[in-house]
Homo-oligomer: A and B are copies of this chain.
Amino acid sequence: MKFLDIGVLSERSGVPPSTLRYYEEVGLIASVGRHGLRRQYGPETLTQLALISLGKTAGFSLDEIRGMFGRDGVPDVPRAMMHARADALEQQIRRLVTLRNALRHVAECPAESHMDCPKFQRLVRVASHAQRGGAQPPASIATGGRKPRR
Using a CB–CB cutoff of 8 Å, the interface residues on chain A facing chain B are 11-16, 19, 44, 46-51, 53-59, 61, 68-69, 72-75, 79, 82-83, 85-86, 89-90, 92-93, 95-100, 102-104, 106-108, 112-116, 120-121, 124-125, 127-128, 131-132, 136-150
Contacts and interface: CB of A to CB of B under 8 A. Distances in A.
Given A96-B89, A107-B86, A113-B74, A53 B149 contact: no
Given A73-B120, A86-B107, A89-B100, 5 more contacts: A16-B143, A50-B141, A53-B143, A57-B95, A83-B107
19 contacts: A12-B139, A12-B141, A13-B142, A14-B142, A47-B125, A50-B125, A50-B128, A50-B141, A53-B141, A53-B143, A54-B127, A56-B144, A57-B95, A58-B99, A59-B150, A73-B106, A74-B113, A93-B100, A96-B96
A54 B124 contact: yes
A113 B73 contact: yes
B97 A93 contact: yes
